[in-house]
Structure 1
Amino acid sequence: MIFNKDSGDLTSNSQEGDQMTGPEYEGKKILLVIAQEQFRDEECFVPKQVFESAGAKVTVAAESENTAKGALGGTIKPDIRISEARIDDYDAIVISGGGGSRKYLWDNHYLRGLVKEADSRKKVISAICISPVVLARAGVLKGKESTVFNSPDTVTELEKYGAVYQDRDVVVSGRVVTGRDPKSAEAFGKAVLKALKKA
């Protein structure tokens, strides 16, 4: 999938037959968490399209239900507040990246609680770009291989909480999926679906 920042449209760059659909994804419920401002557009819209195309139901959560604004100008109206989300209602939690993650997600105690609860209930847990820091701070990356957008503080944060950093597009460690950057958004989304299939 390619996100066009000017039109807000998605176009597929997948090979024929590379689509992930099937009854195993029908009815799966995914909580997609984004920053209220400066979420990275591709890391929200591309995985969302991957999930919905496969038949999964996506609920978008942010700090408030006001329209959230992406770094490239995309907008989306969240379905619920992060504080209202209940992990038992979902099969997976996916945390989108972007610069706004530092302000809105890294230290959001509701989100951290959701991640910990998802881990204890053996749900699929995933994050992309700089948002794997949320997973690290929640303690779910300890001893696990994972990736993150490589900036001065992100790799340090992961390693501080016991993660084993890998400089790869997407890293899957059991039920935990991490993605590196906007270019890996489609592969990240597909890896989340594969993890859901195994869960």
Structure 2
Amino acid sequence: MTDELRGKKVAILATDGVERIEVEEPRGALHAAGAETELVSLHDGQISARQSDLEPAGTFPVDRQVADASVNDYDALLLPGGTMNPDQLRTDSDAVAFARAFVEGGKPVAAICHGPWTLAEAGVLSGRRLTSWPSIRTDLRNAGAEVVDEEVVVDRNLTSSRGPQDLPVFCTTMVDQFAKALQPA
């Protein structure tokens, strides 16, 4: 275990339909680096996870509702994918405002798979370079982003990856970028 993120708190913004592995592996990497994580969602209780969007894959307990969350309580944001998860988040004004505040505030954000959909809705992708799951790339381009097909892309405070196949490099890059961004000035 390393300590490069010790004392840092990362919000994981997700709801029902989240891709299980896209929560578990990044969360594990964050914890291994010493960070604390909180699952922030649209409702309290638990959210249902999926495997490959199709199969039920258990649940995750919710730590805080996004309507009650403050960006000031967190150092960074993780946006996992799964098709249903960000499709619901992007229709919730509190979730969209929460994601927007991280990007506009210069705090580090990591998004994988369909996760960037919420950022497109937040209107923060114009002039940004990123990657995602192939099926949402047109939406991201329409939001003003330069979209590329690479396993991981870093553009200022935004780290993005295409999907579960990229989790090893995504997790390493996310921890490195969060640590770099959160070093004292």
Structure 1 length as normaliser, TM-score? 0.83
Q: CA contact under 8 A between 1:92 and 1:124: conserved in structure 2? A: yes
Report the identity percentage.
27
CA deviations 1:140-191 (Å, max 9, x no partner) are 221111011001xx11110001100011121110110111111222322222
Deviations 1:95-131 (A, max 9, x none): 1100222442122211211122112321012211112
Quote the Cα distance in structure 2 between the aligned partners of 1:82 and 1:186. 28
Q: Which has the larger share of helix?
A: 2
Look up the match of 2:71.
87
Partner secondary structure for residue 167 of structure 2: helix
Tell me the number of residue pairs that the alignment of Structure 1 and Structure 2 aligns: 176
Equivalence for 1:183: 165
Deviation at 1:66, TM superposition (A): 2.1
Residue 13 of structure 2 corresponds to residue 29 of structure 1: no
Which ranges of structure 2 fall in alignment gaps of 5 or more residues?
52-56
Partner of residue 157, structure 1: 139
Answer whether contact 1:50 1:186 (CA < 8 A) is retained. Answer: no
Residues in 2 aligned to 1:148 and 1:108: alpha-carbon distance in whole angstroms: 21
RMSD of aligned alpha carbons: 1.5
What displacement does 1:79 show? Answer: 0.5
- Matched to 2:157, the amino acid is R
Q: For residue 62 of structure 1, what is the aligned residue in structure 2? A: 41
Name 2:80's counterpart in structure 1.
Answer: 96
Moved over 2 A (4+): none
Q: Is the aligned partner of 1:120 residue 2:134?
A: no
1:70 match: secondary structure? strand
- For residues 166 and 107 of structure 1, the distance between their equivalents in structure 2, rounded to whole angstroms, comes to 25
Find the aligned partners of 2:124 and 2:104 in 1 and give their Cα distance.
Answer: 10
Structure 1 CA distance, aligned partners of 2:167 and 2:42?
A: 22
- Name the CA distance, whole Å, in 1 between partners of 2:14 and 2:99: 14
SS at match of 2:62: coil
SS of equivalent residue, structure 1 residue 71: strand
Deviations 1:43-88 (A, max 9, x none): 0111000000110000011111222111131311110112111101
Distance 1:125 1:107 in 2: 20
1:48 matched to 2:30: no
- Taking structure 1 as reference, are residues 60 and 174 closer, same or farther at Cα in structure 2, changes over 3 Å only? same
Which deviates the most, 138-147 or 154-163? 138-147
Q: Which runs of 5 or more residues in structure 1 are unaligned?
A: 1-18
Residue 106 (str. 1) matches residue 90 (str. 2): yes
| Contact kept in structure 1, 2:10 and 2:38, CA below 8 Å | yes
Q: Distance in 2 between matches of 1:186 and 1:61?
A: 23
1:111 alignment partner, SS class: helix
Q: Are the structure 2 counterparts of residues 44 and 132 from structure 1 closer, same or farther at C-alpha, using a change threshold of 3 Å?
A: same
